[in-house]
Amino acid sequence: MPRAILYPEWDNEQGNSPYPFADGATRKNDLDVILDSAIVDARLYVIGGGVRQYLSLITVTAETVTFSISDSTGIIASGEYSATVGGDTVELTDTYGRPAGVLVGVDGSLQFFTTFSIGAHEFEVEATEFISTVVVPTPQIGVRGFVLEGGEFFTKDAWIFGEQGVFFTTEEDGVIRVDIMGDPAAERKFCDALGDFEPTRFIRTINGLVPNGFGDFKLLSGSYEALDTVLRIEPVEAGVTLKFVGGVLQDATN
């Protein structure tokens, strides 16, 4: 049989301690004081967040309370608490909408912040710095999103396709490999999509005859009874002349 239960009533036990704020945090500004029991736990994992993260701003309206987390660069995450719905957690997201942490209350303790006057309530880092044990360092490395043409930052699941000689493969360790082989027809495909491509016409006339509307010449053979080839090549002063021997067909230019 078990002899003891580890960490009983964890949230309730934090009600009489400054946790999750640092021991030296005053938790007050010129007008407001945050009670020990208002926020009993927290976890912050802001991508690219710096040191000394703190609760910098509490914005109160008639229906919501917005918590903003900052470091030395400014606001890096925020979360909203509904005064009408209630609850004991506030989910935080960073400035790009990615999950960034959570603030935890107990037994409706977060309702305490609805007693603040409507407006913005600012705090300095010395007043509301979070203790280091609740801050998870999350370096901003690798690709974590895409900036779309409209300027939006996309962070959800995405399919990556290679085109114009670019190939994507996934290695065994999950690394995406990019191979750029090149595509000599890439420019033509691009122009075709825009309707701007015109093929080069090296032969414009044959004995004064022009091509059809599609730029095509129709070369038809003569009688099968001919024993020699229909092609005639005759040297001239500036080069050679190409001739094709055959009968005149009415539909040759159709």
> pLDDT tens string for the chain (254 positions)?
455 555 556 556 665 678 999 988 999 999 999 998 899 999 999 988 989 999 999 999 999 999 999 999 999 999 999 988 889 999 999 988 889 999 999 889 999 999 999 999 999 999 999 999 999 988 877 677 778 888 787 877 778 777 777 888 888 777 888 888 776 666 777 777 666 666 677 778 888 888 887 778 777 655 555 566 677 778 888 777 887 776 555 544 44
CB 43 within 8 A of CB 26: no
C-beta separation of 73 from 84 below 8 A: no
> Among candidates 13, 26, 1, 206, which has minimal Cα distance to 107?
13
CB 50 within 8 Å of CB 71: yes
Return the structure tokens found at 83: 């005064």
